[in-house]
Chain A
Amino acid sequence: MPQASALSVPHLLGIKDLTAEDIRLILHTAATFKEVINRPIKKVPSLRDLTVANLFFEDSTRTRVSFELAEKRLSADIVNFSASSSSVKKGETLLDTVHNILSMKVDMIVMRHPAPGAPHFLAGRIPASIINAGDGTHEHPTQALLDAYSMQEQLGNLEGKKIAIFGDILHSRVALSNILCLRKLGAQVRVCGPPTLIPKYISSLGVEVSFNVEQSLRWCDIANILRIQLERQDIRYFPSLREYALYFGINKAMLDRIDKRIVIMHPGPINRGVEVTSEVADSEHSIILQQVENGVAVRMAVLYLLAGNR
């Protein structure tokens, strides 16, 4: 049971700004919302007087649907906006776009943007609460929180537990948010991938680095596998996808060689046959779809707690 009953921050810009106590409060609140979304009537009236705008300047399936469901299940009014079908194409600036939407009386903003720091830029300039739903290669805090929640469901308290993150660490906002979140909760974290996709100085965040997939699988309790983000790779970081799959892909034979059960996670979307084979993604080791379910509960908790701070 967390000590605090309110978050220490007015926005959720990144895990970096949260205290360990904030994270515990969110996870505790999420557990009660998980019970709500498993009822026959999945809706509660907490946010019935708030309007939330979902601003997606970058493509998304899970995060967008998940936020939308979370808002609807809290009875908020919502407006959706995607950059591809808006005046952004005509050259409107981010601040102008947001000011125009806010003048229609919007209380909270959920934003995904390709530029790192975009929500931080807005936070000082507008009165609404902002939730970062992914900013470029920087942070994706709600994903890290739902990952931590899913891990807790599997392992209980994460203090001292071993979590390995595999894949494209360099371009992944999920990796950075996960590392920050897990370290604050006291877990041991290791990153594993090809040397070209591991940022320099990442060990300064308190994580171990390994280039050996099989050895890292043997070390960890949970393997969080990340997608190769081809759309962000402006130069070649490895010779071919086939070669990546061969040396860094995770397959069933590897898991069978390990004498303990490890849990497989993936934030989606999966490149099947690249970072992980279908056999593993669909196996009993995988909790990928539970992660998606937990995503709604965690986002409800974040919206609820931030609304309470207003």
Chain B
Amino acid sequence: MDQERVILSQERFALTIERLCHQLIEQFDRFENACVVGIQPRGTLLSDRMCERLKALLNIPNILYGQLDITFYRDDFRMHDKPLVPSATCMDFLVEGKDVVLIDDVLYTGRTVQAALAALNDYGRPRSVELAVLIDRRFNRHLPIQADFIGIVVDALDKAYVKVEWAQRDGEDRVLIFADKKDHQP
């Protein structure tokens, strides 16, 4: 395998997000009792994009939307060399009794989602929580966590690295896979 390969090009990328939005509409109708919660820092890039698209598709001015930082809830705190620098949490509503769509870019070990569920508890008891992700790396899960809405499934070895690039940050929307984490220069 090459060192890096594009697995989702710009056109397919847009199409995939479009499909995810339609699936959410199918499930939550006009989002009367639903809210969208993006996981900081990278999940919010996807949730920002999806919220804009959902509002356009449904022709509604607003969707209840929050950005959740899970740094303080991680179970691997102090296993890294350095403390993790948190991003901002921006949740100005309670999720009590609501249907929550949790959004992240890549589902891999499941630990981020576990931390997000713990963090979400501090904002009330939701009626339900569902998970939408752009990439599902279904091998190497550490916890019994699955996504309900999936952009694409990627089967890759543990040493591979999947990178999601965004137009507003990296110049182009696309998903790359690196055969070896070491080849990836962040």
| A interface with B by C-beta (< 8 Å) | 2, 5-6, 25, 28-29, 31-32, 35-36, 39-41, 43-46, 74, 304-305, 307-310
Contacts and interface: CB of A to CB of B under 8 A. Distances in A.
Interface of B: 69, 71-73, 77-78, 80-89, 94, 118-119, 121-123
Contacts of B71: 32
Contacts of A46: 72-73, 77
B88 A305 contact: no
Interface majority SS on A: helix, strand, loop or mixed? Answer: loop
Contact of A308 (B77, B94, B118, B119): B77
A6 B84 CA distance: 8
Contacts of A41: 121-123
Given A39-B122, A44-B72, A44-B73, A308 B86 contact: no
20 contacts: A5-B82, A6-B81, A28-B85, A29-B85, A29-B86, A31-B88, A32-B69, A32-B71, A32-B88, A35-B89, A39-B122, A39-B123, A43-B122, A44-B73, A44-B119, A46-B72, A46-B73, A305-B83, A307-B77, A308-B84
A5 B72 CA distance: 14
Nearest to B119: A44
Nearest to B82: A6
B88 A35 contact: yes
B87 A32 contact: yes
B83 A5 contact: yes
A145 B14 CA distance: 46
B139 to A, nearest CB: 28
A29 B82 CA distance: 14
Contact of B72 (A28, A31, A40, A45): A45
A212 B71 CA distance: 48
A41 B87 CA distance: 18
Contacts of B123: 39-41
Contacts of B88: 31-32, 35
B61 to A, nearest CB: 26
Given A40-B94, A44-B122, 6 more contacts: A32-B86, A32-B89, A36-B72, A41-B122, A45-B73, A304-B72
Contacts of B69: 32
Contacts of A5: 82-85
A308 B79 CA distance: 9
Contacts of B89: 32, 35-36
Contacts of A6: 81-83
Contacts of B73: 44-46
B87 A309 contact: no
Nearest to A31: B88
Contacts of A45: 72-73, 118
Nearest to B89: A35
A45 B122 CA distance: 11
A45 B118 CA distance: 9
A25 B72 contact: no
Contacts of B121: 41
